[in-house]
A = this chain, B = another copy of it.
Amino acid sequence: MKRMLAIVGCCLLAAVMIRAQPSSSPKPYRVVFDLTTDDPQDQTAVLRWLREVASVNPQNEMEVVMYGRGLALVVPGRSTLTDDVKTAIGRPHVSFKVCEIAMRNQKVDKSQLLSNVVIVPDGIGEIVARQKEGWGYIKAVAH
């Protein structure tokens, strides 16, 4: 009987903990970062923010949209942070998107991009669409 009570107690405790979990980590959110410079301070900052946003709640959704000079971050040889970017791309709930118009302007071919970088036809349009869907917007400037 004692054993029975102990098991029931543990089950109740587990149930309470499971129910309590959602309130312990804040409600997940979605945020799009707008990167338009190749400044290393801006690049470092956006990579750090991705880690930190995920640390607050692993369910948070993040997207980095690059156009103009922002493209450099995902073109090996044009950034010194390539290894960090590869790690970031590999994480769940993170996507890196580059603007096709910016690629054409800068004569960057798809083959020059890091793996798993998504090409979007219109970087600004992508950001506007995300805002429309209720995503938060952060301009990535830190320098």
A residues in contact (CB < 8 Å) with B: 26, 29-31, 34, 36-37, 45, 48-49, 52-53, 55-56, 68-69, 101, 121-122, 124-125, 127-129, 131-132, 134-139, 141-143
Contacts and interface: CB of A to CB of B under 8 A. Distances in A.
Contacts of A139: 34, 138-139, 141
Given A36-B141, A45-B36, A132-B134, A31 B122 contact: no
B125 A53 contact: yes
A111 to B, nearest CB: 23
Q: How many copies of the chain does the oligomer comprise?
A: 3
A31 B124 CA distance: 9
B56 A121 contact: yes
Contact of A125 (B56, B101, B129): B56
Nearest to A51: B101
A36 B141 CA distance: 7
18 contacts: A26-B122, A26-B125, A29-B128, A29-B129, A34-B138, A34-B139, A37-B141, A37-B143, A48-B68, A52-B122, A53-B125, A56-B121, A69-B142, A128-B135, A128-B136, A129-B136, A132-B136, A139-B141
Contacts of A49: 124
A125 B54 CA distance: 11
8 residue pairs, one from A and one from B, having the closest CB atoms = A128-B136, A139-B139, A56-B122, A29-B128, A131-B136, A36-B142, A68-B142, A52-B101
